[in-house]
Structure 1
Amino acid sequence: MNDYDLNEDISREDLSIIAERQNEKMAALGQLSGGIAHDYNNYLMSIIGNATMIQKTDELERIYDYAERIIHISQSAAELTKKILVFSKKKCSTNKPVNLKRILDNTYEMMEFILSKEIDLIYNYEADDEFILGNESQLESMIVNMILNSKDAIINNGIIKIGTTDTVVYSEMTLSHGEIIQPGEYIKIYIEDNGSGIDDEIILRIFEPYFSTKIKTNGTGLGLSVVFGTVKSHSGYLNVTSNPDNGTRFEIFIPILKKSYISDNRKITGKDNNIVMLVDDDINVLDIEAELLEDLGYDVVKFNSPLEALKYYEDEYENISFSVVDIMMPKLNGKELFKKMELINKDAAVIFITGFVQQAEYEELMKRGLMIIEKPFTYEELSEAIAEMYY
């Protein structure tokens, strides 16, 4: 065979491999889309059903119950959206300074109660640092998911160990899935079990969506793929070691939190003023946001045009206590609006609201002492954010 024929065979083989991988990706995407549609249609069915029943009843107690269900279902739908974005590596949630020890303490207490008596859960927090840059609900979900995964691998009696250590990586190192961890200081979280272990040919696929050695169920079935996505969304790395019939150990490396990252929030100086300027280009959302602020006791001046809001601010800034501003708006986004507000009033106080923000953008605003809350937010979250802005 001449060189041309050899290269042609190699080229055909490469194309065949690429095509096979593409087919696998499309199949996974099809499964994922079906699972998402299944879950969202269930959520919508429940929301529509409960809203319809509110229209049909005059009993206040029943109306309250239906409304509570709608809130709960909507929050579940929001969590699903976050999981999808984490899986797709498009983070909708921003990472903030969080107490990792508290998250692990709480998770340990909860899981110790949930796990059967046949499984011994051993917990040991040895890392010196307690704070990392992270998302509390994602981290908690990740740890719970991994403990449950270990539980499923234990047939009868067993041990699951969870803990942390300080780890310094001095040079690049290749991990189990071909990733190269960069030099730096990390908190290493480990989850280890003495269960059935994972075969070598399977271990490389455990973070794919829907791939499981367990019985399939309805729903999104993102499983360990969300765990992997959560690790990546925390700028972390994941290493897995396992031996059939001899257990599995997951190691998660999360960068330590640099102290220079944390900044005090910009405070509200006009205590006597009760006027809030609210800016959001979505009229439907604007109206309910205004009602939430009014229920908290504020006089709200609302705008769905950032340009009109800027004109108002220029004339009335001395009478405004603080502003609530959406980030993603046409013509003039929230960050651009705030820059112009600062030119008018260097002490302008603002709470940014958004349905999606990139981590770098969030960090930039946080370092300046500016606050962001993510949609959908609750009445309590809005109230707490405002309280933090007062001296």
Structure 2
Amino acid sequence: IEAGRPYAPGEPVAFTRVAGPVGQSGMQRRALITAMPVAGAVAGVVVVLRDVTERLLAEERLNQAEKLESIGKLAGGIAHDFNNMLAVMCAAAGLAERAESDSARRGHLRTIITSAEQVAESNRRLLAFARKDPVRRAVDDLREVVAQAHELLRHSLERTIVIRCDCGTLPLPVLGDRSALLNALINLGINARDAMPAGGTLAIATALVEVGTGEAAAGGGELPPGRYAELIVRDSGHGIPAEVLPRIFDPFFTTKPVGKGTGLGLSAVYGTVRTHGGAISASNQPGGGARFRLVLPLTTQPALRPMMPLPTPPPAAAPEPSAGMAAPPVVLLVDDDPEVRQLTADILADLGCTVLTAGNGREALVVLAAEGERIRLAVLDVIMPEMGGVEAFREMRHLQPGLRVLFSSGYAGGDDVVALVEPGRVAAIEKPFTMAQLGAAVKGLLGP
């Protein structure tokens, strides 16, 4: 009797069984066992065992990829809406703080702005998981990123944790965002620390690896064949429970006590790696402890131009109105959210600009055609109905080649926007932004 029911005489029996651990890796194997009775001169049973481990693992990876993709789309949409709401909060509080003379009330308004910025940071982790987080691409040696992470972890982890790095001698040039990769390594280091409350060893190693045809990427799909930079992060902690492994990269999933973790650390790492065209997997080591493997594509390309840096000013700083201009610059503000549009227009007016507005790209083209070269700068939301910011940008450049453009969106740093950035001519700013950040971006494009 198998699978809870009796079988008729002569009926073949098929079922799967787990065997293992097998071999040096200690990995459990799964076998499909088929048993067929044989009648005739010699009575017996023919038993066929087929190793189906790889097939079942591939199916699990595909299911995991589909699940994470669905979660990512949901997370990205929620984060985009949050960013618009946070942009309204930051703009309104910033304008009120600017006009408020009472120091106590200014302090309360500053608290609102600071809290909104903290929420925005959590939002950026969601966008990283959804692979919509801004990526400022440049060529970096992965070994240098690891060395920087090692230095930061050495000063922040307990002395009971020994950090060992083995980065080899071969350069590992990758095209990506150093800050995002550094944050991913820090998150993995903190995750390892939490798994070793009594101390232990955190080992980080890099290597150059060749990926052949058909090698599966973590989370499903396949990595294109070629040379990759491999990064292994191991700890000597208690490992990852088997029931947790399938959900280890899910956003908001955590096994830590309430108040000890957000459940966004590893999901942000997953999003960062996938944004960089790589793969990540998690497993347990035979001798104990967790092992994370990151694989990133190597590059021989020159770095793309990064997005213009937007400095974060001291909390009490406020942008000064534009000075020294013969006439107020005319700015065309394009955003489909009425509240964001109105408050951003108020900030621009406070900076000394004359503001024209439009609700989408098509409306903006009509305004630009009517006003012509009077408009010196267009502030474009990236995602809008009718016509989005990137398409509107291309049409605007046909009408007015010298127009300065500032992209503004919760998805501000998508690859399509990053490729359009030109220092002094085209820049990008992420929502939610402060008055000072918007002022610095406008000044960078229009001059003092």
TM-score by length of 1: 0.69
Q: Is contact 2:137–2:306 with CA below 8 Å preserved after alignment?
A: no
Q: Secondary structure at the match of 2:137?
A: strand
Q: Does 1:63 pair with 2:118? A: no
Q: Does 1:132 pair with 2:187? A: no
| CA displacement, residues 345-376 of structure 1 (integer Å, 9 cap, x when unaligned) | 22332112123369454355459985332221
| CA displacement, residues 142-172 of structure 1 (integer Å, 9 cap, x when unaligned) | 2222111211222534222335444443444
1:162 & 1:135 partners in 2: Cα distance?
17
Give 1:285's match in structure 2, choosing from 326, 335, 340.
340
Give 1:236's match in structure 2, choosing from 278, 284, 309.
278
Q: Is contact 1:195–1:245 with CA below 8 Å preserved after alignment?
A: no
| CA displacement, residues 208-243 of structure 1 (integer Å, 9 cap, x when unaligned) | 456655545587534434432332233211134532
Give 1:331's match in structure 2, choosing from 386, 399, 418.
386
Q: Secondary structure at the match of 1:96?
A: coil
Q: Does 1:110 pair with 2:165? A: no
What are the ranges of 5 or more consecutive residues in structure 2 without an aligned counterpart?
Answer: 1-6, 17-59, 309-324
Q: Does 1:151 pair with 2:151? A: no
| Structure 2 partner of 1:162 | 204
Q: Does 1:94 pair with 2:134? A: yes
What are the ranges of 5 or more consecutive residues in structure 1 without an aligned counterpart?
Answer: 11-17
Q: Secondary structure at the match of 1:249?
A: strand
| Structure 2 partner of 1:376 | 432
| CA displacement, residues 252-276 of structure 1 (integer Å, 9 cap, x when unaligned) | 112235635625889xxxx987332
Q: Is contact 2:254–2:262 with CA below 8 Å preserved after alignment?
A: no
Larger radius of gyration: 2
Give 1:317's match in structure 2, choosing from 353, 372, 387.
372
Alignment of 1:289-300 (within 5 A): 289-300=344-355
TM-score by length of 2: 0.62
How far residue 390 of structure 1 moved from its aligned partner, in angstroms, is: 6.8
Q: Which residue identity does 2:297 align to in structure 1?
A: P
2:342 & 2:162 partners in 1: Cα distance?
52
Give 1:191's match in structure 2, choosing from 219, 227, 233.
233
- Percent identity, aligned pairs only, is 28
Alignment of 1:354-373 (within 5 A): 354-356=409-411, 359=414, 361-362=416-417, 365-366=420-421, 370-373=426-429
| Structure 1 partner of 2:223 | 181
Give the 3 Å change call, closer, same or farther, for CA 128–309 of structure 1 in structure 2: same
Q: Is contact 1:199–1:243 with CA below 8 Å preserved after alignment?
A: no
Structure with bigger helix share is: 1
How far residue 198 of structure 1 moved from its aligned partner, in angstroms, is: 4.0
| CA displacement, residues 258-304 of structure 1 (integer Å, 9 cap, x when unaligned) | 635625889xxxx9873322222323212322343345454433344
- CA RMSD in angstroms comes to 4.7
Q: Which residue identity does 1:336 align to in structure 2?
A: E
2:306 & 2:219 partners in 1: Cα distance?
39
Q: Is contact 2:413–2:430 with CA below 8 Å preserved after alignment?
A: no
Instruction: Count how many residue pairs are aligned between Structure 1 and Structure 2.
Output: 353
Give the 3 Å change call, closer, same or farther, for CA 251–66 of structure 1 in structure 2: same
1:175 & 1:372 partners in 2: Cα distance?
32
Q: Does 1:351 pair with 2:391? A: no
